[in-house]
Structure 1
Amino acid sequence: MGAPSPSLLTLALASSLAFIATSTLASGDEAAFIGCLIENSHPSYPIAPAIYTPENASYAPVLQAYIRNLRFNTSTTPKPRVIVTALHESHVQAAVICGRENSLQVKIRSGGHNYEGISYYSLSESPFFILDMFNLRTIEVDVANGTAWVQTGATLGELYYRIANESGGIYGFPGGVCPTVGVGGHLSGGGYGNMMRKHGLTVDHVVDALMVDVNGRILDRVAMGEDLFWAIRGGGGASFGVVLAYKVNLVRVPETVTVFRVARTLEQNATDVVYKWEQVAPHLDEDLFIRLIIDVVNSTTPQNGTAKTVRASFLALFLGNSTRLLSITNESFPELGLEPSDCTEMSWVESVLYWTSFPAGTPVEALLSRTPQVLNHFKRKSDYVKRPIPIEGLEYIFARMIELVKPILTFNPYGGKMAEIASTATPFPHRAGNLWKVQYAANWDEDGEEAAAYYIGLTRKLYEYMTPFVSKNPREAFLNYIDLDLGINRGDEAAYTEAMAYGVKYFKGNYKRLISIKTRVDPQNYFRNEQSIPILPRQRS
């Protein structure tokens, strides 16, 4: 299918299940599953070329092509019985129907950036298959109406490139800063980027969607209803069905934006500068987003017998020229000491490359690459901060970081538009009241469980050290920074209780509504994963 035009949408809604017959094949038999797929393949779009099994020479390359966390690319990582690389919407429909009828759990993968890898492997012993969406990546930009339809297998980089190229640079989109992230996971989990203080979250700009439900029907916003449409904009689409495409509103961007990256170490008064950032970053002009990255580096002036120091890096996007930017920082954040030489003016789409650390002068066509610049092993966690951390708190955190060395803290400021949208507008609840979001990150190159345990342990320690300074009751977390430390849903009779451990952290007061919607649209809990939305216990069969 091309991007969802009105005529194609009408056709899809009218004939979504016409070609799928009822299967009576044996439960749990992947051979029966494949037979079901082929038997029910749309005559105009044969599914056989999209099916890969372990006996196929291309199986391993296809599986590994979108594994972005090397922790889950090992010989012992559980493997899918089958991979279906859907080439048409009908392949998605057949995969859902045949997977459900043959008791094969579905793992839905768009870009493969799921931090815990659960879009392509399973912790349970249940057999599963991967429904890989990377071939479904058509993008249609409607410049006249300021909208775009984008299939969920597209990457953010592809979307940004098309928007900028077809609009002549007048439009952008407020999504994430990593161009190889898949649209499907990014939007269904919430999505944010460096324009969120101006324009809010990525999901705040979704106005329609196409999805395949548990019965194999293709639904648009009208057909699915407002509850389900609400749920797949931040509640995790993979809990409710397979999202095929989103229609999004674009945002106007200025002809010139300005970026900078300024670093200060402890010896350069980093503690005081960070403390001032805390006071001002969520309250600055909404055109200005200043991310704070805190890491440990070698000290050029070792003190007290230590050769390590903390570095605070301030990475910014300003939706305007450098003259106005300097006026704002000189008045509101003079402690940063921003100089004209620190600032670089460019187009919005070029700023995407800057934020992804591409070398200066890299052509914007680099956004079309689906290969990440770096692949490594990693662990991520998240937090939210509601009150500025006092100076003594910062000193404590920095001292602990020097002990640990490896984990990095990234603070993403809120305020602006984020404080204006209700916490119930989408499943994403972390709006007003939060000053910034925290990401904990550890990356490593070594293979093996011992190295993984070591670096994950360091990340957990830093997370624990941060406990006094972050949100409480619940300690909030961001779904797109999925973290299995928060709890695991095994998909059995205990799933409802198990899911409470992470559900209230990700969704707070929106969690009950998500469970209610899930119970109604997927009463047998077919669409499930290790941290999916559960169904109500009384609805179990």
Structure 2
Amino acid sequence: MVTLATFVIVALLNPYSLLKASPSMASTLESGLLDCFGKNRLTNYTTINSRPQICYKLLNFSLQNLRFTEPSVPMPYVIVLPSSNIQVQHAVVCSRQHGWLIHARCGGHSYEGFSSTGDSPFVIIDQMNLNKVEVDVAEGTAWIGGGTTLAEAYYHIANASKDRYGFSAGTCPTVGSGGHISGGGFGHMSRKFRLVADNILDALVVNVVGLLLNRTTMGDGMFWAIRGSGGGSWGMVVAWKLSIQYIINWRTQDDDYKYLNWIKSFYEYMEPYVSKSPREAYVNYLDIDLGAARNGTASVETAREWGIMYFKDNFDRLVRVKSHIDPHNVFRYPQSIPVNTKQVL
């Protein structure tokens, strides 16, 4: 019986999702990809023709914004739900070898749907099953899978530490940790403990050629880039190691006014300092109105229009790192970090 944990969906071919490819071209692309899956033991899959209802349910399972479920929205041709790091590696290698664009998805909360929609033949590698959390209370650290939601991470860390530890991140329980951390990760404890990305000690990333890298083997440039520049440009982050913090909670209702009044006064204090001109943005809250490029193929100068608004002077450094680790621009989306061909080694 087909299970959710290792499911591969071949979804309906939207007229836009293969750029109006001919039936023979679509068949060739599909057969080559699925043959590669089979050779690498990614054999548990189904097609839209055999089990359409299951396919649609799984396709929409992680979509948090219903506007991306409309029939006119380009849909993925294949969705992979790996249950191990090696399956992610095989999915990346097969997709690249057979010309498929790769979209990473963990929580489905992308404001502009970049993890679930696209213009080219694309594969979604959904990490929802990579949600294991390992907590070391004595060391004050935790490894969380790339598909772990914030609620799952909070629960397992609190449970392992008897409600004594947490970590500085957001408040929406269904947000995927992968996208949240890669965009910085702001939350209520950030003033004291900084962004969640500031508390990342290590990571495991599947790169463009399918290698599993840690902090040491990926190098300082890539480790810097994956912590704050947004997901989708660098590879598949399958696990994060983070430091956890001692926390307190208040349960007496009378204390509510004390803490809420402090928050209100802090908000009023910060209001004069928010950016107005030029406009700036936070990459966890993607804004396509800043600019975008079909298929993530923008030139450096075109991408600079929105890149500066997200990353300011760090944009040029991100371009240098991208050009080094992903020179063929395999991992991309409409606002991804571009490649500078002059900087490719």
State how far apart, in whole Å, the 2-side matches of 1:508 and 1:231 are.
Answer: 14
With over 3 angstroms needed to count, the CA separation of the structure-2 counterparts of 1:82 and 1:230, relative to structure 1, is same
- CA displacement at 1:214 relative to structure 2: 0.3
1:234 aligns with 2:228: yes
| Residue equivalent to 1:503 | 307
Per-residue deviation, residues 147-179 of structure 1 (Å, max 9, x unmatched):
100001111001101111110111111111001
| Residue equivalent to 1:322 | 255
With over 3 angstroms needed to count, the CA separation of the structure-2 counterparts of 1:87 and 1:326, relative to structure 1, is closer
| Residue equivalent to 2:152 | 158
- CA displacement at 1:77 relative to structure 2: 1.3
Instruction: Determine which of 512, 515, 522 is the counterpart of 2:316.
Output: 512
Identity of aligned residues (%): 41
Aligned partner letter, 1:60: Y
| Residue equivalent to 2:250 | 257
Higher strand share: 1
State how far apart, in whole Å, the 1-side matches of 2:265 and 2:297 are.
Answer: 56
TM-score, length of structure 1 as denominator length: 0.55
TM-score, length of structure 2 as denominator length: 0.85
SS of residue matched to 2:284:
helix
SS of residue matched to 1:190:
coil
State how far apart, in whole Å, the 2-side matches of 1:334 and 1:206 are.
Answer: 30
| Aligned counterparts, 1:134-145, within 5 A | 134-145=128-139
Per-residue deviation, residues 441-479 of structure 1 (Å, max 9, x unmatched):
xxxxxxxxxxxxxxxxxxxxxxxxxxxxx3323x11010
Residue segments in structure 1 that go unaligned for 5+ positions in a row: 1-25, 42-46, 261-320, 337-384, 390-434, 437-469
Contact 2:140 2:244 in 1 (8 A): yes
| Aligned counterparts, 1:38-49, within 5 A | 38-41=38-41, 47-49=42-44
| Residue equivalent to 2:211 | 217
- CA displacement at 1:105 relative to structure 2: 0.4
Instruction: Determine which of 138, 147, 163 is the counterpart of 2:141.
Output: 147
Contact 1:96 1:216 in 2 (8 A): yes
SS of residue matched to 1:83:
strand
Contact 1:213 1:240 in 2 (8 A): yes
Instruction: Determine which of 181, 184, 207 is the counterpart of 2:178.
Output: 184
Aligned partner letter, 2:284: N
Aligned partner letter, 1:215: V
- CA displacement at 1:54 relative to structure 2: 2.8
| Residue equivalent to 1:535 | 339
State how far apart, in whole Å, the 2-side matches of 1:243 and 1:101 are.
Answer: 20
Contact 1:33 1:98 in 2 (8 A): yes
With over 3 angstroms needed to count, the CA separation of the structure-2 counterparts of 1:204 and 1:76, relative to structure 1, is same
- CA displacement at 1:540 relative to structure 2: 7.5
1:110 aligns with 2:43: no
| Residue equivalent to 2:189 | 195
State how far apart, in whole Å, the 2-side matches of 1:529 and 1:105 are.
Answer: 9
Per-residue deviation, residues 183-225 of structure 1 (Å, max 9, x unmatched):
1111111111111111111111100000100010000001101
| Residue equivalent to 1:96 | 92
With over 3 angstroms needed to count, the CA separation of the structure-2 counterparts of 1:62 and 1:326, relative to structure 1, is closer
With over 3 angstroms needed to count, the CA separation of the structure-2 counterparts of 1:539 and 1:54, relative to structure 1, is farther
Per-residue deviation, residues 334-358 of structure 1 (Å, max 9, x unmatched):
999xxxxxxxxxxxxxxxxxxxxxx
State how far apart, in whole Å, the 2-side matches of 1:196 and 1:322 are.
Answer: 21
With over 3 angstroms needed to count, the CA separation of the structure-2 counterparts of 1:33 and 1:508, relative to structure 1, is same
| Aligned counterparts, 1:425-436, within 5 A | 435=273
1:524 aligns with 2:328: yes
Contact 2:324 2:343 in 1 (8 A): no
Contact 1:52 1:84 in 2 (8 A): no
SS of residue matched to 2:124:
strand
Per-residue deviation, residues 313-364 of structure 1 (Å, max 9, x unmatched):
xxxxxxxx939x74995xx79999xxxxxxxxxxxxxxxxxxxxxxxxxxxx
SS of residue matched to 2:294:
coil
Contact 1:53 1:83 in 2 (8 A): no
| Residue equivalent to 2:70 | 74
Aligned partner letter, 2:231: G
- CA displacement at 1:490 relative to structure 2: 2.6
State how far apart, in whole Å, the 1-side matches of 2:308 and 2:320 are.
Answer: 14
| Residue equivalent to 2:10 | none
- CA displacement at 1:491 relative to structure 2: 4.4
Contact 2:296 2:338 in 1 (8 A): no
| Aligned counterparts, 1:272-287, within 5 A | none
SS of residue matched to 1:257:
coil
Contact 2:100 2:123 in 1 (8 A): yes
SS of residue matched to 2:301:
helix
State how far apart, in whole Å, the 1-side matches of 2:31 and 2:344 are.
Answer: 28
